[in-house]
Structure formats: C-alpha cells, structure tokens
Structure 1
Amino acid sequence: MAAPQASTVREPSSSIRVFRRVIAIIIVVTFSLAAAGGIIVLLGDIESELTFQVVSTTALTGAFSVAAFCGATLLGRRAQWFGIVTIGLAAASLALSLWFLWGDPPGDETLFQLLYSLILLTAVGSVASLVLLLASTNSWPVRIALALTLGVLSLAAALTLVTIWIETAWQSDWLMRLTAIVWILAALGVVVVPLTSLLLRKGKAATPTSSDPMSDSASSDSASQSSGQASPAPHLSASALHRLEAAARAQGVTADELLDRLLDADDRSAPGPQS
C-alpha cells in the first residue's frame, strides 16, 4: 500500500507573518483614528469645510485600507508580489487623494489623470487579489478560467486608462462599447471563478477517491467492525514498553524473559477443559 503524499502547501515564514500583522495593525489604527475624527466633527458644524475634509478622509482611508488588506492576504503565497504591488498602489492612491483634499496642488490636468489612474489600478488590483486568493489552482479548468479572468481584467483596465489619458477616446463609440463589454466579461469572471473553485473543492471533499490509502483503510476498518472482528494492535505503546523494561530490570532479567514468565504463569493458572 502506497504511503499518502505529504501536503505541498508552504507555510508563511515568520517574517511574512510579522509583516502581515504589522499591516493589519496599521490599517486598523489608521481607520479607527479617521473614524473617530469623522464622528467628532459631525457633532459640530456639519456645513463647514473642515467637516467635509475630515469625513472625506475617513471614507478614503476606509476604502484604501480595504484595498491594502486585499493585497495583504496574498503575503506568504506564490502571488505575494502582486499583493505587495496592490498595497503600494493603495498607499500611493491614498497619499495623492489626501494631498488633493487637504493641500493646494497645481491645477494641472496630468495630476488628475494620475489620480484617476491610481484609483483604477488599486481597485483592479484588490479585486484580482481576492480572485487569486479564492481560486484554487488544483483543477485545470479553474486555472484556465483564472488566467482568462486576469487577462480580461488587465484589458479592461488598459482600455479605461486609454480613455483617461486620451481625451479624444471618449468620442469613439466603438471604443466605449468595447470597454463596457470587456468590463462585463471581467465582472463575470470575478464571480464565476471563485464560485466554481469552491464547488469543485467541496465535490472532491465529499467523494473520496478509491485510490486513497486512508479511505481504503477506513473502509476495511469499518468492514471488520461490522463483522464483529476486532483488529489486533500492531505494537505496544511506548509507555507499555517502558513499564515492561522497568519491571524486568527490577527482577534482574530481560524484558523477553519476564514476558515469557508471565505468559507461562498465565497458561498454568488457566483452567483446563472440563470433562
């Protein structure tokens, strides 16, 4: 009987776990402070510019914290580089948004285009991170669907970036139609791929394969128990062996000799067949 194969899932290193914990703490503390500030200013004059700025800061911090958390879920996995990029995009988008909200940036159209581009890429990165996290790569149909979904998401982001940086692109009717169609396909893949992976995973867990040695042994054990036959223990436990050796040393004999004495004494004490 072949031995069961060991799991190939890699456990995240201690540095990755610490980094993930630090990111989670930063997200929780930052969002909590922003939420507290929003509540405080809402208790005062809600029509002031300060109230608008603080409440907007709370909303921006919450949105980009969720995006950063989506990227942090990939840390310690094969696609952790994508998670790190998503976290960087979320941080850059939040910093630029707060600069526009609290500072006095120049009225250059390029800065607005950069802000819109960063927000778009952060949103796409967070969604792709969740798809990579939820989709299992053990099934080849899921792997193909995952690759297609990520490709369609990239194409949708690229087409949207074209409309952001090229003003005349909005005048092209076919480009607008194509962009909308690609986004619909991307949304379809984002929903279908994780659900399909989850259904396949549950199906495999519910129907064990006949080649699984653990399932074979479990079925044989249940069959022997149903027939009333008790399977003997293959070996003594470590504690029993230790006690046997200690008793043998106390009597100055080996463990085998002590066992033979006990078995002989048990045979002599057993009552013979009655006539």
Structure 2
Amino acid sequence: MKKAAQTSTADSGQAEGVKTRTRRRTAAAVARPAQRGTTVAATIYRDLRNEIVSLRRKPGEPVAEKVIAQDYGVSRTPVREAVLRLADEGLIEIFPQSGTFVSRIPLGALPEAIAIRKALEEATVRYAAKRATRSQIAKLRANLELQREMEAAQNFEGFHQADETFHALLAETAGYPGFWNLTQQVKVQVDRYRLLTLPVLGRVPDVIAEHSVIIEAIANNDPEAAAKAIDLHLDYLQVTIADAQKANPLYFTAPSEDEAEPV
C-alpha cells in the first residue's frame, strides 16, 4: 500500500509538471508564433532538451508528441524530428508498443563521462593558468559572485547555469573555447545526475569554495595547483553517484554486465 501511495504521489507530481509546462509553452506561443520548417524543429529540440537536462521533465516521464505539437501550433513532423535527435543523444527512449519516455539516467555510463570531463577540464585550467589576463580573472570572480547570489536565493537551476558559465569562462580564458564544447557533449547525462546533488545540504557552498580555489590558482599562474583544484572539484561527482541513485532509484537504470559499477 505504501508503495502504491508513493507511486500515486509521483504520478500526480508528474501530471502537475506537464500542466505547468503546457501553460508556459502556450503563453509563449501566443506571444511568439512558431516559425515553420527546420527552425521550429530546432526550437522544439532545444526546449525539450533543456527541460530534460534540467529535470523539469523527470526520468521515466511520458513524452506526448501530440500535446507538444498542439502547444507549438505545428504538425507532429517537427516534433518527431526533435524527439529522434534526443533519442540519438540518449535523452529519450522510444518503445513502439508502449510510447515515448524521458530516458532514465544510465548509471553505468557516468564514471566514464566524468573521467573524460576531468581530462578535458584539467587541460583547460592548465592553459588558463598560463594565459589568464587580469580582465579574464575579473570575469571569473564576477561569476563567482553570481553563484553566491543564486545560493542565497536557493535557486538551484540558476546556480547550475552560473556554474556552466564559470566552466565556459575557464575554456575562454585558456584560449580554447572548443574544450568546453567537447565537454558539454560528453556530460549531458552527468548534468542530470549532478542536479540531484545540488539540494544536498552544504553542497552548493562547497562548490563555490572549490571554484574559488581554482580561480586563485589561475590568478597565481600555477598550472599544477589549478589542475589539482579542478580534479578535487570534479571528484565529488564520482564519489556520490551511489548516494544519488539510492535517493532517487526510479531515475536511474542499472548498469549492464559489460559496464562498470560506480565506485
């Protein structure tokens, strides 16, 4: 009975989330009519992707293509195009006899994605520590203040966006903004998992403190210290996978036999 009650509560929460998104998109459609052709498909793809990565669409939640098409005032063709792109990225699963759903977070894929991200970002901060200008360091410190503002407001999604900007600025400071583009491609599933960790008591202040150490190492032109700081910062993602999975078991898929268990 308890399990059934929990399921009912979860279903109600998902239904309310769907209603809220529908109201928002309907209002947006009235204010800004959808453009036709590939542009609207790209818009739907971007919006759906943002909703999935930000967890506004929960793992396992149904994706109703007909409703989305109605929200945007278009046929189902551009919606289907967007859904197929998201399926290719592993963010949506399509079951011919059952429906279309937001994919669950693949537990076994997270360690490798985190390892790739660490390698890319370690190289990034090493270059940044060698090349940073005073104005670039000022931008990093200004972004850190924005993170503190998001923390004070308890705005976790806003904090996540400020965090993303911080890492993009690191790549810009390094002189290789493409490093961040590559990182974004490999970390999409990590982002969904990471958002589950932000409400953990004390995590956001810790992130800000870790970012501060990275900035100071770069400001001191110390590549080794910067690399060590970014490694320590990203290690948290690895060691808390199991905790996040235990707290949100329905959001994750178990690793297959040929995938490594999270450490």
- TM-score band (shorter)? under 0.3
TM-score with structure 2 length normalisation? 0.25
Q: Which structure dedicates a bigger proportion of its chain to strand?
A: 2
Larger Rg: 1
- Relative contact order, higher structure (CA 8 A, sep 6+): 2
